[in-house]
Amino acid sequence: MLAHYSHNVYIKHSLERCMETEEIKNLLGAGIILSVVIAMPSILNQSWTSISQAAYYALIILVVSVGAKKLVAASLDIRAEHRIWHMERFGFRPTAYFKNEVPTGIILPLVTSLITAGKLFLMTILTFEARALRHRAAKRHGFYSFSEVTDWHNGLIGTSGVIASLFLAVASYFFNEEPLAKFATFYAITSLIPFSNLDGTQILFGSKTIWTVLVAITVIFFLYTLLLV
C-alpha cells in the first residue's frame, strides 16, 4: 500500500515537472512572438538595431503581467499555468472542431502586425488555466466543495494581469519610457478581448462589472497613449 502511494506521488511530481517545463517553453515562445510584434515596424524597415530593445520591452511586460497572475493565484492556493493561445473550435456546432489545434496566439498577432505594417499591435498571445492546489480545500475551508476554481477566481487572476500592465504603463511614463508605456497599454487592452479562452473572457465570466470598469479605464489609457506617444 505504501509502495503504491509512493508511486502515485512520484507520478504526480513528474507530471508537475512536465507542466512546469511546458509552461516555460510557452512563455519563452510568447516572449519571442511579442518581441517580433513590437519590433515589426523596424523589421519591415530593415532596421535591426531596435530588436534588442523590443525584446527588452517584451520581457518586462510578460514578467509583470504573468508574475501578477501567478502571485494572485498563489494567494488563492491556485496554480495558474500559461500556454500559447490555441483554438480547437471554429463554430457552434458540436462537430465544428479543427483537425488539430490552431496556434492562434502565434498566427494572429504576427499576421495582424505584418498586414498593418506594425501600426496595430494585437498581443493576444497567452492564455492561462487555473488549477486548485491539492491542499486548497483543507487549508482554506475544510470542505471539498470549496476546492474548485470558480469563474470568480479566474476573473481575479486575469484582472491582476491587466492591472499590473496598467501600473507598468504609468511607471514607464514617470521613468520616461514612453514606448514601454505604449506597449504595456496595448497589452492591457488586448488582454480584455472577450474571445475564446483569452483573459478577457475569463474576466467577463468572473464579473461583468469588473470587466466593464477595466475596459473603461484601459480605453482612457489607450486614448492618452495615442495622443502623447
Comparison of pLDDT for 112 and 45, the residue scoring more = 112
Residue 62 has pLDDT above 80, yes or no: yes
Give pLDDT, residue 132. Answer: 84
The DSSP secondary-structure symbol of 93 reads S
Judge whether 178 and 172 are in contact, CB under 8 Å.
Answer: yes
Q: Tell which phi-psi region holds residue 46, choosing left (phi > 0), alpha (psi between -120 and 50) or beta.
A: left
Extended beta strands in the chain, E state:
78-84, 87-89, 97-102, 126-132
Give pLDDT, residue 96. Answer: 54
Flag the least confident range among 32-46, 69-83, 129-143, 173-187.
Answer: 129-143
Spatial separation of the C-alpha atoms in residues 49 and 183, rounded to whole Å: 18
Comparison of pLDDT for 135 and 167, the residue scoring more = 167
Give pLDDT, residue 95. Answer: 54
Q: 19 Cβ partners below 8 Å, 6+ apart?
A: 81
Q: 38 Cβ partners below 8 Å, 6+ apart?
A: 54, 57, 58, 121, 183
Sign for the CA dihedral angle at 70, 106, 151, 184 comes to positive
Helix residue spans in 76-207 (DSSP H) = 104-115, 136-140, 151-174, 178-190, 199-206
pLDDT per position as a tens digit, 118-165: 888 899 999 999 988 765 555 555 444 456 789 999 999 999 999 999
Q: What angle do CA 198, 103, 61 make, to 5 degrees?
A: 55
